[in-house]
Amino acid sequence: MDPETSTTPEMNFSILGSAAPVLAPRVGKLAIPGRQAISTPHFVPLTTRGAVSHIAHDVVRKETAINSLFIGLEDFIEKKHPAPLYKTPVAPGESPLRRFICAPDDMPMILAPRRFPSIPCPPTNTETSVAILTSVGFRQLTAHQYVEAIQKLQPDIAIGLADIVTAKPPGTRRREKMVDRTHAFTRDALEQLYGSSVAEGKTSKAAYFAPVLPLENAQQLLYLEDLENEFREHLSGLALYESTSLSFIPENIGHLPRLLLSEPVTPHEILREVSLGADLMTIPLIGACSDAGIALDFVFPAPASTQERGEPQPLGIDLWPSKHAKDTSPFKKGCECYACRHHHRAYLNHLLAAKEMTAWVLLQLHNHHIMDQFFAGIRDSIQQGTFDEDVYAFNRAYDSELPSQSGEGPRFVFLSLPSYLCPSNKGTIRLRGHYIAPRQGTNHPKRMQKVYGRLDDLSEKFNESQSSVATPDTDAEGLERHGFAEKV
Amino acid sequence: MSTTAEPARKAMPSALTFDRHAKCSTTKARASTLKLPHGDVPLPIFMPVATQAALKGLTYDQLRDTGCMLCLNNTYHLGLKPGQEVLDAVGGAHKLQGWDRNLLTDSGGFQMVSLLKLAKVTEEGVRFLSPHDGSPMLLTPEHSISLQNSIGSDIIMQLDDVIATTSPDHARIKEAMERSVRWLDRCIDEHKYPERQNLFCIIQGGLDLELRKQCCEEMVARDTPGIAIGGLSGGEAKEEFCKVVDTCTDILPEHKPRYVMGVGYPEDIIVAVALGADMFDCVWPTRTARFGDAIVSSGTLKLRNRQFADDFSPIEEGCTCTCCRSKEEGGLGVTRAFIYHITAKETVGAHLLTIHNVHYLLNLMKNVRQAIMEDRYPALIRQFFSNIYQGDKSKYPEWAVGALRGVGMDLLADE
């Protein structure tokens, strides 16, 4: 892993080949001063509270090719403002965020108001703020606070604030409001960060990615016009919430990098989004597969050996089933990730059954590696001019969906939530951190109800005791087979 | 003893060498090197516990980075998952977990008796009802050794008759001690690979020093490659604990490693080293890390406390672990504030603190060994206690003062 560090004075995005084709895949390079350059199309690794889930910082550095971090400001907001993050002592010009989350100096950091995927908040957004979910409950993040965060925290890229309605499809009026508010958020932020009123030398160095709303072209025309004209000089990129938006990006901002905040659930969907011209993408699928015990297993372009099999191959391997118990082959043959170089399926199968955290560490390392390779293959294919054929062949060579999950996810459940906040009404949720989907429909919980900050010691201790006080989950014959004891 | 009628004993080969380098001129502390099939282990040593063949989210490269040469797996857990058949198929626990340094396994008896309430110990072995279907089952010394042979650990432990040291039933304690000796013979007989796995006996006898002495004599006669002192992590008073260790080490041969099982906290280890013990294990450093507790020279920091929310110092100033070293020193530059922010909310928080805590204990042992080599262990002990109690000698625990006095060192005296 030999990252190339950019030395240009400000963020620079260069598209290889034809200038800015519309609705076509493209290869580019995003260079941020002092940071690793990112070849696009690429994915942006997601973080929880500033850390890549399950992968400790030293392992990120030594054993992954992770070259950017997507960070949600809401993960850092506490009851009192300013939160501790802002008080991080730094050298002049250094980012407190970088120091706080212990990110390497050359790691590009992308700051968004909310983490991704974000959980719908029952409180609604307002004219001046958006609703967020913090570890101390629902809060409002004002546009002003967010601009201040960009100024103080100095991310490399800042995703602009947008009025997004997540709970249900917005009506006509609400859609108008979304546009008006987002328009205003963008105008104000650009003015405050880079405008003429900002003292010389004080303009923000963060590259601003303006949101494009998940609405039809016609509904946000005025806003898009301003993006391509009035706001143009301060824009460094665009943040899109759905791939449809790629079809109506105004021509003279077509050369800006496009970060697509979508949730593709298969590699086929990723390819589709790339084919429409996405440059950077968020892929929660990686973490979801790791949590589910699934090791991704696909290559782009599909190798001839895979295509020749005659039937679609699985996109991943579910490592829960006991058929892997004695299998000392790597997750994926020939894979060069840390997990495949050092471990085998039998170990992963054991770790999953034993509910050991190391299982998710190894799966994350593998799945991030597979996705790295996948995107490298995509870039090559586009440059070779064979992307369309390769996609066609890939779609035929592999199953259309990932294998379904047969085991449980991580046992790292920290919060016991009231049942009304849980999608399944089971009283707890499986996601780490504190993200839960509020129940749809009426009967919403009271706003700002205090359900967080009450880390459930008991459930954690219980989990702990389960690991150290394992009780056999097999019968007498099983124990005998395991050489554990004999029946008498 | 019931074992006196035993016929000639099976010769006990050893798959280790024990080189003693130095002995403290004041206390009974020793510095040595234990050469095991998977590498040399500097003694005295702390062994992290990877219960189910994984060290709580750490990769084995991260564990290697802390300098660890020997860690534990639990036979009880590996017997349940993945089980003997898988262990045999895979080729043992080293290959299962991708760890090329040394492993030690316990016998599984401790967990069996403490976890399965209906367990009953008979001469044959531990009888219990299968928790799943209620069938009566029997775990014998032969089962335990066979399983540990399949695991392939470098040090294996005999199955012993474990009872709480706090048990008031003296007859039962005596019976347990004597039975442990008889079971040791069965373990020796069953042990298939003495040339590559070192069987350690376990001294029993509760808090009765006479029983302990008898047990030592009986077991030393069996000439196992190493010796463990068992039954001491059950909540007995620290004074009693120290007396037992002190009594045993007086009798045990100088040329064999001594392992005090399930101990412990840094204070316990520092004192037990002075009493002549070499090896220790405890789940506490790794378990406590998951709850946000950092082990530092002044004691334990509960980093989930609000007071650390904006404390931007490293977990411990001057610590050389990967987390605490600053970015400028090639480390991660993890601060207390970041641990507060992430602990118990994301597994990475547990990983980071586990690295620190394991490093703390291994580094402590490294310093201990160095001090013994340079014959200044008493000074290290003084500094250690002074750090924890901020130099206030009135707060020093009496058990520690007493135990150290017993080996010729006055902890309260000014150097």
**Minimal CA separation from A33 to chain B, in Å:** 19
pLDDT classification of B1: cutoffs 50, 70, 90? very low
Contact (CB<8Å) B86/A353: no
Mean pLDDT of chain B: 93
Percentage with pLDDT > 90 across chain B: 83
Q: Cβ(B236)–Cβ(B262) under 8 Å?
A: no
Question: Quick count: other Cβ atoms within 10 Å of Cβ A106?
Answer: 15
Looking at chain A, how many residues does it have? 488
CA A304, CA A302: separation in Å to the nearest integer? 6
Residue B166's pLDDT is: 72
Q: Which of A351, A475, A484 sits opposite B80 (nearest CB)?
A: A484
Q: What is the domain class of A12-283 according to CATH?
A: alpha beta
DSSP state of A420: G
Amino acid letter, residue A140: Q
Chain A residue numbers with beta carbons less than 8 Å from the beta carbon of B293 are: none
Which CATH superfamily does the domain covering B13-282 fall into?
Answer: Queuine tRNA-ribosyltransferase-like (3.20.20.105)
CA nearest neighbour of B349 among A50, A460, A175, A237? A50
Among the listed residues B106, B154, B208, B268, the single catalytic one is: B106
Q: Cβ(B281)–Cβ(B262) under 8 Å?
A: yes
CA nearest neighbour of A71 among A375, A282, A369, A365? A282
How big is chain B by its Cα radius of gyration, in Å? 21
Contact (CB<8Å) A325/B128: no
Residue A417's pLDDT is: 34
Contact (CB<8Å) B140/A51: no
Q: Where in chain B is the domain with CATH 3.20.20.105?
A: 13-282
Residue A443's pLDDT is: 39
> Residue B48 region, left (φ>0) first, then alpha (ψ -120 to 50), else beta?
beta
CA distances from B146 to A55, A64, A357, B121, B189 (A): 37, 40, 28, 19, 11
**Minimal CA separation from B227 to chain A, in Å:** 24
CA B327, CA A99: separation in Å to the nearest integer? 9
Residue B221's pLDDT is: 96
Write out pLDDT tens, residues A33-78.
999 999 999 999 999 999 999 999 999 999 999 999 999 999 999 9
Contacts of A233 (CB under 8 A, 6+ apart): none
Which residues, listed in sequence order, are joined to residue A430 by a DSSP beta bridge? none
Contact (CB<8Å) A480/B137: yes
Among A78, A95, A356, the residue to mutate for chain B (most B Cβ within 10 A): A356
A335 is in an annotated binding site: yes
Q: Is B281 a catalytic residue?
A: yes
Contact (CB<8Å) B345/A432: yes
**Minimal CA separation from A256 to chain B, in Å:** 33
Contact (CB<8Å) A472/B80: yes
Residue A462's pLDDT is: 38
H or E element that contains B221: helix B209-221
Residue A476's pLDDT is: 79
Chain mean position to CA B76: 16
Among A484, A486, A488, the residue to mutate for chain B (most B Cβ within 10 A): A484
Cis, bond preceding B44 (omega within 30 deg of 0): yes
Q: Does A127 touch chain B (CB under 8 A)?
A: no
Residues in chain A where the model's pLDDT stays below 50: 1-2, 411-469
A426 or B246, which is more confident?
Answer: B246
Interface of A with B in 366-425 (CB under 8 A): 410, 412, 414
Tokens of A463: 């989990």
At A124 the three-state DSSP class reads coil
CA A357, CA A363: separation in Å to the nearest integer? 10
Burial class (CB in 10 A: 0-12, 13-18, 19+), A127: exposed
- Can you tell me the ipTM of this complex? 0.94
Write out pLDDT tens, residues B131-157.
667 778 888 999 999 999 999 999 999
Among A261-275, B91-105, B226-240, B301-315, the range scoring the smallest mean pLDDT is: B226-240
Q: Is B375 a catalytic residue?
A: no
At B93 the three-state DSSP class reads helix
Write out pLDDT tens, residues B31-45.
999 999 999 999 999
Chain mean position to CA B123: 27
Contact (CB<8Å) B84/A483: yes
Query: Strands (DSSP E) along A291-366, which ranges?
Result: 294-296, 316-318
B10 or B65, which is more confident?
Answer: B65
Q: Where in chain A is the domain with CATH 3.20.20.105?
A: 12-283
**pLDDT above 90: residue B357:** yes
Query: Strands (DSSP E) along A308-365, which ranges?
Result: 316-318
B116 or A28, which is more confident?
Answer: A28
Residue A409's pLDDT is: 61
Q: If you average pLDDT over residues B190-201, what whole number do you get?
A: 97
Residue A426's pLDDT is: 34
Contacts of A457 (CB under 8 A, 6+ apart): none
pLDDT classification of B129: cutoffs 50, 70, 90? confident
Chain A residue numbers with beta carbons less than 8 Å from the beta carbon of B350 are: 357
Pick the residue from chain A with its C-alpha nearest to B110: A469
pLDDT classification of B130: cutoffs 50, 70, 90? confident
**Minimal CA separation from B88 to chain A, in Å:** 9
Write out pLDDT tens, residues A270-307.
999 999 999 999 999 999 999 999 999 999 999 998 88
